[in-house]
Structure 1
Amino acid sequence: MQPITRRTNAPRTPQGAADLDEFDAALIRALQADGRASIHDLAIQLGASRDFVAQRMHLLTHGGGLRVVAALDPGFVGHHVLVHAKVEVDGPIAPIAEEVIQLPDAVFVSMTSGPLPLVFESRHGDGHELLDVLDHVRRLPTVRRVLVSTYVEVLKGFFVSHGQTDIVLDRIDYELIAVLQQDGRTSYRALADTVHLSPSSTRARVQRLIDAGVIRIAAIKSGSFSRNRLAIGVGITIDGPPDPIREFVMESPYIDFAVRCHGSYDFIATLVSASSSQLLPAMDAMRGLPGVSALDSWTHYDIVKEDYARTLGRVLVRE
């Protein structure tokens, strides 16, 4: 008599290192889509047990460089000029990176591969502020040149909201944003204790901020990249219609940041995956798109600054 095999819908736990890397990458993508998703919902989405998801979340956020935080919409705080800059350095990169980190307008700084091995993103109220920053960077010792692209439209990104509506914020809203910029998964009970409201009223206020496009709560992965997160920046130059490129970057699961810009490039994107074997076909596909005349790429070795919370102070001062 043959033994009866019982089928079960019980969640499975990844076994090998490769499976675990893929699971962590999927968990990060889920938190990038919704940074406040519950462990229960994440477990259902990823097909794993709640205990396992909680364990991986703990490992990623305690030593794995993963943070779930709220990012303010740049336009809300008066930053209408957003740029991407690549810096050519004659000598070690680290000393120049340390200088750029100190710039209050620089929100992202990364040491990369290629002939221009320092990349930074900065945000400014107007073009004069931008020129001041670029002049400062160009005067730094060993800096040979700075290539700049100005963002026209952010297609994908951590700080991109799904829509914006007019909204008037009060002191309680600012206090909630300040806490969420440090930890986007702070419980509603803890948030309520901070602002002296009920948890239900606090939940409603946070959801209002998200729905209005003031903040977006999502995961960001900082520091050195590991085997479960390889990131490659891509600069695209076009000689035809932009629509095929726009459609590709919006639909690709490997692109977590993309902008339409002018300057050094017409599009800039960041491809992220657990494996180069997934990213290389995506890059080849981009090279074959109609209208793409050139594609430049650089690997992110180490993100040394990722600061999206600094602008809240300026808003509070205005109040």
Structure 2
Amino acid sequence: MLDTTDAALVRELQHDGRVSYQRLSELLGISREAARARVQRLLQRGEVRIVGIVPPAVAGITTVAHVSLDVAGAGRPVAAMAAGRRSTSFVSCTAGPQSVLAEVRVADGAALEREFAALRAIPGVRGLEVFRCAELVRDAYSPEVAGLRAGPPPELDAADRRLLGLLQLDGRASFAALAERIGLSQPATRARVLRLLEEGAVHVTGLVESRALGVREAAGVGLGVRGPVRPVAEAAATLPGVNYVATGYGRFDVVCGLDAPDRSVLLTGLEAVRALPGVSRSESWVHLDIVKESYTYDLPID
């Protein structure tokens, strides 16, 4: 578990992964050297990773689906094979109606159909149940996301895309190091990075190892909704513990992800989601083993 100061550092890094040590010093009331040492210790222990999260549309991803895999026999081998697909961003073994759940992110509907075919072909898979996302109201690790139906993403040239690829790997890389990799001057590189941040092409954040935060439980819940769906999704996104909300069609109208320090808190979160006005039915599942969780995309780095 993190101590009070480290927890405060983590919150600031989640908000802005490129925040300066001087600013951290001012915010937390510690010396600049102490702020640097604490951040470096968190990074070295693997409790925090600073990465650039690129919104799906910016990376050319316009189609997202949650796929529940009906498995005959053991789920772990199926989950491992699903996790090996480049298109899967999240794969888990669950306690719920189906034993394996995967989130698939691809460029378009045709690519999605190809992924469905590949998942069906995994030995042991008897069939799929699909929730296709219409809009990501709250995406994992990103405080705000543009919906999948929103306007066009920022226009990017080759240098911009290389910068995004590098920031996905190391969100705190110095402007000098980035400039050397993309072959531009440091001032030009700094201007590009600031523009990409301002335009929402990337959000640099601290990804925290769940157990360092005391998170021991994770679950998902699918909702059926009476009437307008968006108000229910927006309300769910404000609830404590909810880290992911998507609207869509198929099995559900809304899908949410939650985490909690223990089963009691998890149950409280699930009950709060189920009790939202407009919810007509719900189905939940507990993530017993998160096999894959990756929100990076294939972007050039050289």
- The CA deviation at 1:58 is 4.0
Q: Aligned residues: percent identity? A: 35
Q: Is 1:169 paired with 2:156?
A: yes
1:228 equivalent in structure 2: 214
Map 1:1-16 to 2 at 5 A: none
Provide closer, same or farther for how the CA distance between residues 292 and 125 of structure 1 changes in structure 2, counting only shifts above 3 A: same
2:268 equivalent in structure 1: 281
Question: Could you tell me which amino acid in structure 1 is paired with residue 245 of structure 2?
Answer: A
State the superposition RMSD in angstroms. 3.2
- The CA deviation at 1:256 is 1.9
2:255 equivalent in structure 1: 268
What CA distance in whole angstroms lies between the structure 1 residues aligned with 2:284 and 2:212? 19
1:91 equivalent in structure 2: 73
- The CA deviation at 1:36 is 1.8
Q: Is 1:156 paired with 2:138?
A: yes
2:175 equivalent in structure 1: 188
Question: Could you tell me which amino acid in structure 2 is paired with residue 107 of structure 1?
Answer: S
SS in 1 for 2:73: coil
2:296 equivalent in structure 1: 309
SS in 1 for 2:131: strand
SS in 2 for 1:236: strand
Identify which of 79, 100, 109 aligns with 2:61: 79
Q: Is 1:144 paired with 2:126?
A: yes
- The CA deviation at 1:156 is 0.9
Question: Could you tell me which amino acid in structure 1 is paired with residue 105 of structure 2?
Answer: R
SS in 2 for 1:281: helix
Post-superposition Cα deviations, 1:25-81, rounded to whole Å, max 9, x if no partner, equal 665454333222234444555666666655554454334453221233322333221
- The CA deviation at 1:155 is 0.7
2:50 equivalent in structure 1: 68
2:89 equivalent in structure 1: 107
Contact 2:219 / 2:259 at 8 angstroms: preserved in 1? yes
SS in 2 for 1:128: helix
SS in 2 for 1:271: strand
Provide closer, same or farther for how the CA distance between residues 226 and 89 of structure 1 changes in structure 2, counting only shifts above 3 A: farther
2:224 equivalent in structure 1: 237
Contact 2:58 / 2:154 at 8 angstroms: preserved in 1? no
Question: Could you tell me which amino acid in structure 2 is paired with residue 98 of structure 1?
Answer: A
Contact 1:22 / 1:274 at 8 angstroms: preserved in 2? no
Q: Is 1:36 paired with 2:18?
A: yes
Provide closer, same or farther for how the CA distance between residues 187 and 260 of structure 1 changes in structure 2, counting only shifts above 3 A: same
Q: Is 1:294 paired with 2:276?
A: no
Contact 1:178 / 1:312 at 8 angstroms: preserved in 2? yes
Provide closer, same or farther for how the CA distance between residues 101 and 166 of structure 1 changes in structure 2, counting only shifts above 3 A: closer
Contact 1:25 / 1:228 at 8 angstroms: preserved in 2? no
What CA distance in whole angstroms lies between the structure 2 residues aligned with 1:71 and 1:308? 7
- The CA deviation at 1:221 is 4.4
Provide closer, same or farther for how the CA distance between residues 197 and 173 of structure 1 changes in structure 2, counting only shifts above 3 A: same
Gaps of 5+ in 2: none
Contact 2:94 / 2:289 at 8 angstroms: preserved in 1? yes
- The CA deviation at 1:149 is 0.7
Aligned length: 296
Q: After the TM superposition, which of the residue ranges 25-34 and 226-235 deviates more from structure 2?
A: 25-34
Q: After the TM superposition, which of the residue ranges 49-58 and 283-292 deviates more from structure 2?
A: 49-58
What CA distance in whole angstroms lies between the structure 1 residues aligned with 2:293 and 2:180? 28
Q: TM-score, normalised by structure 2?
A: 0.82
Contact 1:164 / 1:213 at 8 angstroms: preserved in 2? no
- The CA deviation at 1:141 is 1.7
SS in 1 for 2:74: coil
Gaps of 5+ in 1: 1-16
- The CA deviation at 1:94 is 2.1
